[in-house]
A and B are shown apart, each in its own frame.
Chain A
Amino acid sequence: MTRAQMPDPSGPNVRFKQLGQPLRRTDAPGKVSGKTMYAGDFAMPGMLHAKVVRANLASARLRRLDVSKARALEGVACVLTAADMPDRLAATDIPGQTGQKRLKTDSQILVRERVRYFGEPIALIAAISRDIAERAAALVEFDLEPLPGVYDPEEALKPGAPLVQGTDNCVAEHKIRKGNVEEGFARADFIVENTFRTPFQEHAFLEPEVGLAWVDENEVVNIRVSTQVIEHFRSIAEAIGVPHNKVRILGALVGGGFGGKEDLTVEVYLALLARHTGRPVRLEYSREDSFVGHGKRHPFKLTYRTGVTKDGKITALDVRAIADAGAYVYLSPYVLLYCAVAAPGPYRVDNLNVHMRAAATNNMFTSAFRGFGGMQACAAYEQQMDEIAKRIGMDRLELRRRNLLETGEPISTGFVPPSAIWTDRCLEQAWAALGEPTPSHGSLRTGRGVAVYQQSYGRLTFLHDSSEAWVGVEVDGTVVVRSGVTDIGAGQASALGQIVAEVLGVSLDNVVIYNSDSAVTPLAGTTTATRGLYMTGNAAKRAAEAVRARLVARAAQAFGAGVAEVELAFDKAFRVDAPERSMSFVDLVKLCASEGIHRSELAMFRAPFTDFLDPETGQGQAHPDYTFGAHAVEVSVDIETGEVRVLKSVGAHDVGQCVNRAAVEGQIEGGAQNGQGYALSEEMLYREGRLVTPSFSEYLTPTSMDMPKVQCILLESRSGIGPFGAKGIGEPALTAVAPAIANAVADAIGVRVFEMPITPERVVRALQGR
């Protein structure tokens, strides 16, 4: 579809009863009073405590493993090694997917022979106390023969490099070809080339990985676990060799996810130990375990070569990038794909050439992290835009205005997003909100930066995503929502309640949401990929609308009116044209119940289903839709110490339609924090694959003293494909923060630091090299 054919998708300014308001979330009272039980807060009679024994080298061969002393320790119930189990693998491919073929990337559960990363699990222990489990771990004897390792993804792709995965360490490759870049560069007045480096990042959720498993009277392995993905029951079942219906995941409210609880964490270890001992087993990672126990954000090296005319029109773009996949593949192919699709950003680039590869190394494996490749692309394309503006002598915002995609235009893959593209409005409003500039003084130089972005919401469309939800009305007029959705802190469950309450015209207090139980709540898919509200929200809305239709039909009959004339609102059914003709919601429900009218519905929502993108040109549909927005910051840089402080931080996003305004703001405020840490202070230092910063003393996430008061600007085009025109905001909130900060630092000191995090050392070095 071309722009001319596409009608303005933005929706009217509708009036909702409660949707969009900052209602108190259903999970709030329990959390603030300490009543909420997280996965680690459960215990069972006879429960054992588990411990994972890990490799202390990153590349090695296991020569000898002797667990006899550990097994002999009093109080130890079980010590498991690879020798104690069939040579099964655990899935590391797209979690929770349904029926789709997996890539051949499954990994060993425990080291059998080859150690590929520092911290790779070698043995599992279950004992009657945590103290004894730790003492037993110290009694496990193993000899590791060091093998040559490779710790730089570029080195890993060279012929003769130590092999970590496959035949050449290349675990993923993605290309996009559009137009003719040679012609585009020939028409350019300037060609600007820069290389940007982005770092590892740790999710740093406050709740470390934890779970409790037991085998019940039906031989079902039950696992209550902190996870984003209850659908892992399938891959756990395959890993331990039982049918899918013999594993049940009970989620709990999750103490932070950010992608770090998207892959399997403790589940398979728990399942194995519970089956071997026949007793309940609890495993809680220490913070250090957590640092070495789950995948990180992929570091990228991205080289951008842009052709541009003197009036600021981009004529060609060539992007080369290489990502560090670490020791196992995990979600690297998908992260790489996201990065490639996002490579040109929300800009009109007719002549485009993208080539990206992900290389296996002996570093920690890398996988899902909020932003998922799209963020690394943004870090590069938005710094590149500022460098182009500087080179051609054009205002940074003006350069962007001249190239921004507008509604109805295709993105890099040729796909036209079905929703509005309001990047321009977000850009202007974020920038304007910075207000009066803070003057520089002494050694403090202030500077400003802005970045715009395009970030998908919803899963890759070739994964054929679907979501189910159940809505029912009890005879006392209370409402029940059942959805497998995991709530990782964004208010995923509460949002479903608010949507259903809006549709049925009841207050949120009347709704209870039962969620995240793979055996009894309809599977919602996963809480990943900014899909929760889009997919599960649509499924819940659909179920609520079906219930509503039956209630309204009965009320219309009672009122002697057509169904279009009946409204459900304020806990009542009434005639729109004669509101005095009304019936309480409770009476209507009782009436329906007495007549056997079906008061519940199980609904499914399906995302668009597509084939894989063209492997040579990368053209086609990758995602259901995209969110667009901007982030602007003001910083001060101390040119004597190199310290950067963020003074102002503004996110402006077209969220389509707020469901819970406070929750949306919370995503943007938290995104600003996560992006600020990524840009400035969060540094994972690896020495030959060994993490030397495995605690919050060394790995510095922003504190209350580091954060400014983040300002949120919410635009509502009501054009999204989520419920009521909503778009996703979980990942988009974060995407543009880091490049905005990098641009502000460059603005402040007149020289760019091309590698994040922009630590004081790097700032001083850049100033010295100026």
Chain B
Amino acid sequence: MSTHRPVVLTINGRTETASFPAHRTLLEALRELGHVEVKCGCEKGDCGACAVLLDGVAVDSCLTLAWMAEGRQITTVSGLGSADAPHPLQQAFADSGAAQCGYCTPGVIIAAKSMIDRNPDPSEEDIRVALSGNLCRCTGYVKIVEAVHDAAAVMRTPGDRK
């Protein structure tokens, strides 16, 4: 077995230190540290349920090694907002019924955030391309695409930008 070494991770703005072996994925590490809002769907990069922002860019945490995330900003869906103070994406997903079983939702919201930060006024096609690595089995993506579109509009409004 590979040797463990201490790893310093910056998760949702807070620094956490833990010891991990070289083969430990960021998904496993985050969940071991209690960030269970990051979901495991396939561990192969097929489904996108485990997506997190790494320095603002969505990545599959199951394809990222914990050691490689050191020194970088990791953001999970819980880092965007909370049930009491939701991010516009979270608000739009809740209001429009875009979360059904909800298991893909954390990854979908992260992928949408990553896209909107680069493309604040996305077309429907832009949204569909950006979410194409996130599988959902419940919604047909209809309300997800609507919610991302609505949230992008809110985020373009001065003062509400997150």
A residues lining the B interface (CB < 8 Å): 22, 24-25, 27-38, 40-41, 131, 203-208, 253-258, 284, 286-287, 488-491, 660, 662-663, 665-666, 669-674, 695-697, 701-705, 707, 709-710
Given the known A-B contacts A206-B101, A287-B42, A663-B97, are A701 and B36 also in contact in the complex, defined by CB atoms under 8 Å? no
1/0 per residue B33-45: CB within 8 Å of A? 0001111111110
Q: Is the CB of B138 within 8 A of A489?
A: yes
Q: Is the CB of B99 within 8 A of A286?
A: no
Chain A positions within 8 Å of B91 at CB level: 32
Q: Is the CB of B100 within 8 A of A666?
A: yes
Select the residue from A31, A36, A662 with max chain B CB neighbours within 10 A: A31
Given the known A-B contacts A206-B49, A670-B139, are A33 and B102 also in contact in the complex, defined by CB atoms under 8 Å? no
Q: Is the CB of B102 within 8 A of A36?
A: yes
Q: Across the two chains, which residue of chain B brings its CB closest to A490?
A: B100
Q: At the interface, yes or no: B135 with Cβ under 8 Å from chain A?
A: yes
Chain B positions within 8 Å of A207 at CB level: 39, 41, 101, 103
Q: Is the CB of B44 within 8 A of A662?
A: no
Chain B positions within 8 Å of A703 at CB level: 131-133, 135, 141
- 28 CB contacts below 8 A, A to B, read A28-B94, A32-B89, A32-B102, A33-B37, A33-B83, A34-B106, A35-B82, A38-B103, A41-B36, A203-B137, A205-B103, A206-B39, A206-B137, A207-B41, A208-B41, A258-B137, A489-B101, A491-B100, A660-B97, A663-B97, A665-B97, A671-B140, A673-B141, A696-B135, A701-B135, A703-B133, A703-B141, A709-B124
Q: Is the CB of A256 within 8 A of B138?
A: yes
Q: Which of A255, A287, A674 contacts B44 (CB 8 A)?
A: A287
Enumerate B74-104 residues with CB–CB distance to A below 8 Å: 76-78, 81-83, 86, 89-91, 93-97, 99-104
Q: Across the two chains, which residue of chain B brings its CB closest to A677?
A: B137
Q: Which of B53-61, B64-72, B142-150, B154-162 contacts A (4 or more CB under 8 A)?
A: B142-150
Given the known A-B contacts A287-B42, A669-B143, are A255 and B94 also in contact in the complex, defined by CB atoms under 8 Å? no
Q: Is the CB of B101 within 8 A of A672?
A: no
Q: Is the CB of A489 within 8 A of B102?
A: yes
Q: Across the two chains, which residue of chain B brings its CB closest to A22?
A: B97
Select the residue from A206, A660, A670, A701 with max chain B CB neighbours within 10 A: A206
Given the known A-B contacts A22-B97, A32-B109, A489-B101, are A701 and B41 also in contact in the complex, defined by CB atoms under 8 Å? no
Select the residue from B1, B83, B135, B142 with max chain A CB neighbours within 10 A: B142
Give A26 to B144 CA distance when docked, in angstroms: 18
Enumerate B20-52 residues with CB–CB distance to A below 8 Å: 36-44, 46-47, 49
Select the residue from B1, B47, B129 with max chain A CB neighbours within 10 A: B47
A684 to chain B, nearest CB (A): 15
Q: At the interface, yes or no: B9 with Cβ under 8 Å from chain A?
A: no
Q: Is the CB of A704 within 8 A of B131?
A: yes
Given the known A-B contacts A489-B100, A663-B97, A703-B135, are A32 and B90 also in contact in the complex, defined by CB atoms under 8 Å? yes
B residues lining the A interface (CB < 8 Å): 1, 36-44, 46-47, 49, 76-78, 81-83, 86, 89-91, 93-97, 99-106, 109, 124, 127-129, 131-145
Q: Which of B42, B76, B133, B139 contacts A34 (CB 8 A)?
A: B76
Q: Is the CB of B42 within 8 A of A33?
A: no
Q: Is the CB of B140 within 8 A of A254?
A: no
B116 to chain A, nearest CB (A): 15
- 16 further A-B contacts with Cβ under 8 Å, apart from A206-B104, A206-B136, are A27-B99, A32-B99, A34-B77, A206-B49, A206-B103, A207-B41, A207-B101, A662-B143, A665-B97, A666-B97, A670-B139, A671-B140, A696-B42, A696-B135, A703-B132, A710-B140
Q: Is the CB of B139 within 8 A of A666?
A: yes
Q: Across the two chains, which residue of chain A brings its CB closest to B131?
A: A704
Chain B positions within 8 Å of A284 at CB level: 40
Chain B positions within 8 Å of A286 at CB level: 43
Chain B positions within 8 Å of A205 at CB level: 101, 103, 137
B128 to chain A, nearest CB (A): 4
Q: Is the CB of A666 within 8 A of B46?
A: no
Q: Is the CB of B102 within 8 A of A31?
A: yes
Give A696 to B62 CA distance when docked, in angstroms: 14
Q: Is the CB of A206 within 8 A of B140?
A: no
Q: Across the two chains, which residue of chain A brings its CB closest to B36?
A: A41
Select the residue from B42, B83, B133, B138 with max chain A CB neighbours within 10 A: B138
Q: Across the two chains, which residue of chain A brings its CB closest to B103?
A: A255
Give A697 to B142 CA distance when docked, in angstroms: 23
Give A263 to B18 CA distance when docked, in angstroms: 39
Chain A positions within 8 Å of B131 at CB level: 703-704
B14 to chain A, nearest CB (A): 15
Chain A positions within 8 Å of B47 at CB level: 206, 287, 696
Give A704 to B97 CA distance when docked, in angstroms: 17
Q: Is the CB of A670 within 8 A of B138?
A: yes
Chain A positions within 8 Å of B1 at CB level: 131
Q: Which of B101, B109, B129 contacts A488 (CB 8 A)?
A: B101
Q: Across the two chains, which residue of chain A brings its CB closest to B136?
A: A206
Chain A positions within 8 Å of B124 at CB level: 709
Given the known A-B contacts A30-B83, A696-B47, are A673 and B94 also in contact in the complex, defined by CB atoms under 8 Å? no
Give A289 to B105 CA distance when docked, in angstroms: 23
